[in-house]
Amino acid sequence: MSEEFLKVAHAARDAAAELAPLPRAPKDRALRVMADALVAATETIVEANALDVAKARESGTSEAMIDRLRLDAGRIEAIAEAVRQIADLPDPVGEVARGSTLPNGLELRQVRVPLGVIGIIYEGRPNVTVDAAALCLKSGNAVMLRGSSSAYESNTALVKVMQEALEDTEVPSGAVQLVPGLTRDSVKELMRARGLVDVLIPRGGASLINSVVEESTVPVIETGVGNCHVYVDAEADLDLALTILLNAKVQRPSVCNAAETLLVHADVAGTFVPLAMAALAGAGVTVHGDPAFVAQGAVEATDDDYYAEYLSLDIAAKVVGSLDEAVAHIRKYGSAHTEAIVTRSQGAARRFVALVDSAAVAVNASTRFTDGGEFGFGAEIGISTQKLHARGPMGLPELTSTKWIYTGDGHIRS
């Protein structure tokens, strides 16, 4: 590992040890100071951001992507406001998860504690830099941020402002660190920093996440790949199915909880397939379907379509012979994010919920509700699609571990 990386990692580790025992009040004060400092530094941040924007434009980046990258006074104010909202959330640290007095009189408590140092590898918008830092600090963790190289100047400026702001607070300024370097090497260093970094959370596309999972010796929480299914059951209310399908696919197609595959029970396919085709076409959606859908004007689907996370106005579609066939399809092709069933049958809903092995299962509701904000968490660091530690939307408690404490007066084992 490079000396530069080790310096930053050790600084984060030291800061984590100092930050972990801090109670809520000083952490909230620090977050508010940070928010104010970001607004006060608007000019500096916008200047740094302009360098990234110019570089992106030179390299022929699309205007849509450049817009995602751009920071202005309004956006910085919104970023700062999000930090203030995180300050308002309850502190998960110190929460007693379980507790009892054992038969021998030992008092046993399981208490939430910070994870330590969290590494975040992310693509896209620079607001993630601040959002991730704020969530980690609030939960008592130090953070090592490795953003997109396309936002390097912006991220450097944002981290500098946050670190300087923390210098006047009880939160150690080393708790927010930018991983040095622009190349893939710095990602590799983060992935091999076992013992220095407690957990890595990659946020981005499937290829980023897969490469981190493959190469990392630091424990990883996989987030955000969503090939979500809407299954229209034999006993579905078809109007309701259409409403849910359209909302799940069209309301915001670029996000991981948008629907990517439609499965329709054969019993209602005769009526529902033409209805769905018309409605989806009306909303500008390209359907990649099996013969039943192709007969109504869909493009022919390949096996890859059923695996796809389009994140666009495309959807794969298939008629299935039974609920169990729908479940088998989801198990084979899905990413275990969110699957919805539309049905009037209590039995079908119960069976679908029991058999589908995904982070979230929606009954007569859009897949779009799998979201920390919608679940009432107040904030979200990502949506875990793995089974270990956290599954589904991750709020502040998911950024903690626990510690067992037992107190006696000379208790020994016999």
Q: How far is the CB of 171 from its own copies (least distance, A)?
A: 16
Tokens standing for residue 223 = 């987030």
- Tell me, by CB under 8 A, how many residues bind its own copies: 71
Pick between residue 203 and residue 368 the one whose CB is nearest to its own copies: 368
Stretch that binds its own copies, among 58-66, 180-188, 240-248, 259-267 (CB under 8 A): 240-248
What number of other Cβ atoms are within 10 A of residue 247's Cβ? 18
201 binds its own copies (CB under 8 A): no
Residues 372 to 401: which contact its own copies by CB under 8 A?
Answer: 374-376, 386-389, 391-393, 401
Chain centroid, CA 75 distance in Å: 21
Check residue 254 for interaction with its own copies (CB under 8 A): no
- Name which of 406, 414, 413, 401 is nearest 20 in CA terms: 401
Q: Does 404 bind its own copies (CB under 8 A)?
A: yes
The correct pick among 198, 305, 309, 380 for binding its own copies (CB under 8 A) is: 198
* Contact between 311 and its own copies per CB under 8 A: no
Q: Is 116 in the site for its own copies (CB under 8 A)?
A: yes
Q: Contact letters (x/-) for its own copies, 329-348, by CB under 8 A?
A: --x-----------------
For position 411 contacting its own copies by CB under 8 A, the verdict is yes
Asked whether the CA dihedral 361, 364, 368, 372 is positive or negative, the reply is negative
φ and ψ of 323, to 5 deg: -60, -40
When binding is defined by CB under 8 A, the residue of 2, 217, 302, 312 that contacts its own copies is 217
25 near its own copies, rule: CB under 8 A: no
Question: Min. distance of Cβ 300 from its own copies in angstroms?
Answer: 28
Q: Closest distance between its own copies and the C-beta of residue 125, in Å?
A: 21
Alpha helices in 263-345 (DSSP H): 266-282, 291-294, 303-307, 323-333
Residues of this chain, 73-112, that bind its own copies according to CB under 8 A: 100, 102-103, 106, 108, 110
Strands 338-342 and 228-232: parallel
Phi, psi of 259 (to 5 degrees): -75, 140
Distance between CA atoms of residues 207 and 211, nearest Å: 6
Asked if 354 touches its own copies (CB under 8 A), the answer is yes
220: left (phi over 0), alpha (psi -120 to 50) or beta: beta
* Cβ neighbours, 10 Å, residue 369: 17
Dist CA 284 CA 86 (whole Å): 37
